[in-house]
């Protein structure tokens, strides 16, 4: 595995397997300032191209970064917070139009995004539903088979109570996405020894202004020690972490856990194979 920094999609598209980070921003601060783009990321596994959490700025960033939207065949939206879903409808329509109306992506999301939970308005219109090949409303423990890709849905503990993550598996490679969450007791049951674990550090101290239940320094340590992944990727980086210093934060996490830790900023790519 290797990281390429601040590259456009066309630079790395020939690789068979990678995680391309369009934006590493998360929370209201980054939505409002776009200091880091809240644009989500793409996982490519051979012909499988999944866009994950297309938040505010996802479409414009994709166009700026030369992402071939016609090739996106699935979208995953973890939960109904604006930094994770905001550009979903625009992206769905753009995928359809860029493919000359031939490609309708599969949408995998949770119950709140689809308006199935009282008190949460649906985020995908009936019109945009028709531009999807299918919609899977996922819950923790669900297993979804997409040709040679296996997707297992994982749970979280977050302000949005129906938020979900996943473990993606193909050809012996497992990529885990914890989404926005604090540590929970059975975390390792989902993510034990994954090849890559994507985590979202937002705050330093878990007791300081963390009503949204975002991951703190201690949460990240517990997640890594419990699951023992081969490689940790940090993204969705909170303002506190930026102020503290992302390189310093990364090195301290590595020193505490002994696991290889890297971060992805806007336009960074982890090449897996």
Per-residue pLDDT for 210 more than 80? no
We report the CATH number of the domain holding residue 60 as 3.60.15.10
Rama region for 236: left / alpha / beta (φ>0; ψ in -120 to 50; rest): left
Per-residue pLDDT for 209 more than 70? no
Q: 24-38, 139-153, 162-176, 202-216: lowest mean pLDDT where? A: 202-216
**Average pLDDT estimate for 240-261:** 97
**Higher-confidence residue: 147 or 252?**
252
Q: What is the pLDDT of residues 134-182, one digit of tens each?
A: 999 999 999 999 989 999 999 999 999 999 999 999 989 999 999 999 9
What the block records as the tokens of 224 is 């890594």
Domain count, the chain: 1
Dihedral over Cα of 119, 143, 17, 254: its sign: positive
pLDDT for the residue numbered 212: 86
pLDDT for the residue numbered 112: 98
Q: pLDDT grade, residue 206 (50/70/90)?
A: confident
What does the mean pLDDT of the chain come to?
96
pLDDT for the residue numbered 208: 62
Q: Which of 149, 160, 165, 155 is nearest to 80 (CA)?
A: 160
Q: What is the pLDDT of residues 104-134, one digit of tens each?
A: 999 999 999 999 999 999 999 999 999 999 9
For residue 108, which phi and psi values (nearest 5 degrees)? -115, 125
Domain that holds residue 253: 2-271
């Amino acid at each position: 595995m290797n990281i390429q920094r601040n590259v456009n999609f066309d630079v790395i598209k020939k690789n068979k397997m990678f995680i391309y980070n369009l934006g590493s921003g998360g929370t209201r601060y980054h939505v409002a300032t776009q200091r880091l783009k809240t644009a989500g990321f793409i996982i490519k596994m051979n012909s499988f191209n999944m866009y994950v959490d297309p938040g505010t700025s996802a479409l414009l960033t994709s166009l700026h970064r030369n992402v071939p939207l016609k090739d996106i065949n699935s979208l995953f939206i973890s939960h109904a917070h604006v930094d994770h879903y905001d550009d979903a409808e625009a992206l769905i329509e753009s995928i359809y139009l860029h493919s000359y109306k031939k490609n309708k992506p599969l949408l995998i999301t949770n119950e709140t995004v689809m308006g199935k939970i009282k008190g949460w308005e649906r985020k995908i219109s009936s019109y945009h539903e028709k531009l999807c090949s299918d919609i899977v409303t996922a819950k923790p423990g669900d297993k979804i088979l997409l040709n040679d890709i296996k997707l297992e849905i994982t749970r979280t503990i977050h302000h949005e109570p129906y938020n979900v993550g996943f473990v993606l598996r193909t050809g012996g490679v497992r990529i885990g996405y914890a989404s926005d969450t604090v540590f929970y007791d059975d975390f390792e049951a989902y993510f034990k020894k994954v090849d890559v674990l994507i985590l979202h550090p937002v705050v330093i101290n878990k007791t300081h202004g963390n009503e949204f239940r975002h991951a703190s320094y201690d949460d990240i340590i517990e997640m890594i020690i419990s699951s023992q992944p081969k490689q940790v990727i940090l993204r969705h980086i909170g303002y506190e972490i930026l102020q503290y210093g992302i390189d310093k934060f990364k090195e301290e996490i590595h020193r505490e856990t002994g696991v290889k830790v890297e971060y992805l900023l806007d336009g960074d790519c982890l090449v897996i194979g």
